[in-house]
């Protein structure tokens, strides 16, 4: 098979890249080693930056997003038993976030891809990339009991942290920056009407907690826990007791409770691979970088990556210029490190220190007290949280 762009991975990055290329008349083949249902049902990020929402509208992908997405113009920060609202929209000229689950984004993107008739292959095995340093890279995989080879101009590695694309780059050409955190998030989905219209980030002596939602009838909640925590050690009663303890505030607010439909433990890490390109292979999304989820940046960074890559490929096919392809990594890393800084700051400010030193908790309280009493500090958080323009 011959195509212009081979895309490895059918998560948000790969699917959105394929759609952006289609709108420019650029052909692509998308290959995914997981099944369609698995890709759709993975419960991941749910906070979309203003730029992500604007892009989805611009490219005709926002029909369900506009009907079902929950626009939030502020967030709450809770500490010492009190909630403090940060008005994101007022501090950023009207920019906001929208709560819309990543699985819903993926569902919309798959529908859009299938409507184009361009190739999308799930359940592919033995996926490999070849000749990435040449002008004619190849993508091979097995599907339907047969071996396939796709000859490409460019390969986009959108296959996540554990994918095959990043390891295909010679080790001596990559610089890896990584930090693992001494805690994780225990996340649940609950059939409960959200008790707040906006997210609540809470610092508590027992650890961090986050109140979020996925729809008007489904609440999403998180608890800081140990990275090696056994989920069996967290029966529903214990989870609700801990959530009430960490989230309830002196004004009487507490999360509504309901049947827990899903639970799991997510380790936290910061990770950056430099550069994000090698030859004709370009990394995007989790293949290139991982951020702790506190700042809600992972999905949005992936969107920025593929928007930039699609623009560069558009220029390449229209004029033959590789100027923007050559600067893809440099521009992407600048945005990535800004997101890493913000995510690290949010994480360090809101999570119980692994040292257990009471000094650390009092320092965090002082930082939060400054944050909610300073317009400059709140503006800095708001600008980063709603996201910089693409």
Residues with catalytic roles = 72, 201, 293, 297, 385
Question: If you search the block for the tokens 């993926």, which residue do you land on?
Answer: 106
Neighbours of 100 (CB within 10 A): 26
HEC letters along the chain:
CECCEEEECCCHHHHHHHHHHHHCCCCEEEECCCCHHHHHHCCCCCEECHHHHHHHHHCCCCHHHHHHCEEECEEEEEECCEEEEEEHHHHCCCCCEEECCHHHHHHHHHHHHHHHCCCEECCCEEEEEECCCCCCCEEEEEECCEEEEEECCEEEECCCCCCCHHHHCCHHHCEEEEEEEEEEEEEEEEECCCCCCCCEEECCCCCCEEEEEEECCEEEEEEEECCCCCHHHCCHHHHHHHHHHHHCCCCCCCCCCCEEEEEEEEEEEEEEEECCEECCEEECHHHCEECCHHHCCHHHHHHHHHHHHHHHHHHHHHHCCCHHHHCHHHHHHHHHHHHHHHHHHHHHHHCCCCCCCHHHHHHHHHHHHHHHHCHHHHHHHHHHHHCCCC
Question: If you search the block for the tokens 């400054």, which residue do you land on?
Answer: 370
Its sign, for the CA torsion 3, 310, 120, 123, is positive
Locate 212 and state its tokens: 């979020």
Locate 330 and state its tokens: 């440099």
Residue 165 and residue 283 in contact, taking contact as beta carbons nearer than 8 Å: yes
């Amino acid at each position: 098979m011959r195509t212009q762009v081979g895309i490895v991975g059918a998560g948000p990055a790969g699917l959105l890249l394929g759609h952006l290329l289609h709108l420019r008349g650029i052909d692509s083949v998308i290959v995914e080693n997981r099944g369609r249902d698995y890709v759709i049902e993975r419960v991941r990020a749910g906070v979309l930056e203003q730029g992500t929402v604007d892009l989805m509208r611009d490219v005709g992908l926002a029909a369900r997003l506009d009907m079902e997405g929950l626009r939030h113009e502020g967030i709450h920060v809770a500490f010492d038993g009190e909630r403090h609202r940060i008005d994101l929209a007022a501090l950023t000229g009207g920019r906001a976030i929208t709560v819309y689950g990543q699985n819903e984004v993926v569902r919309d993107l798959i529908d859009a891809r299938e409507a184009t008739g361009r190739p999308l292959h799930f359940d592919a095995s033995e996926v490999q990339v070849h000749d990435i340093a040449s002008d004619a890279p190849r993508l091979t995989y097995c599907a339907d009991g047969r071996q396939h080879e796709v000859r490409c101009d460019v390969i986009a590695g959108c296959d996540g942290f554990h994918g095959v694309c990043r390891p295909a780059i010679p080790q001596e050409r990559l610089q890896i920056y990584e930090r693992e955190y001494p805690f994780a998030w225990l996340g649940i989905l609950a059939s409960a009407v959200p008790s707040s219209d906006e997210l609540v980030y809470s610092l508590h002596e027992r650890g961090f907690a986050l109140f979020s939602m996925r729809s008007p009838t489904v609440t999403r909640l998180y608890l800081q826990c140990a990275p090696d925590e056994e989920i069996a050690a967290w029966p529903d009663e214990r989870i609700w007791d801990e959530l009430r303890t960490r989230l309830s505030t002196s004004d009487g607010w507490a999360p509504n409770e309901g049947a827990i439909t899903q639970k799991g433990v997510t380790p936290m890490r910061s990770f950056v691979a430099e550069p994000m390109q090698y030859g004709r292979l370009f990394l995007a999304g989790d293949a290139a970088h991982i951020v702790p989820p506190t700042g809600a940046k992972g999905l949005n960074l992936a969107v920025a990556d593929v928007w930039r890559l699609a623009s560069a490929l558009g220029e390449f096919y229209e004029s033959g210029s590789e100027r923007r392809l050559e600067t893809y990594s440099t521009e992407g890393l600048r945005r990535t490190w800004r997101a890493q800084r913000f995510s690290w700051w949010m994480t360090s400010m809101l999570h119980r220190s692994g040292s257990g030193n009471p000094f650390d908790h009092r320092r965090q309280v002082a930082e939060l007290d400054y944050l909610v009493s300073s317009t400059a500090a709140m503006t800095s958080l708001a600008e980063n949280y709603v996201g910089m323009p693409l």
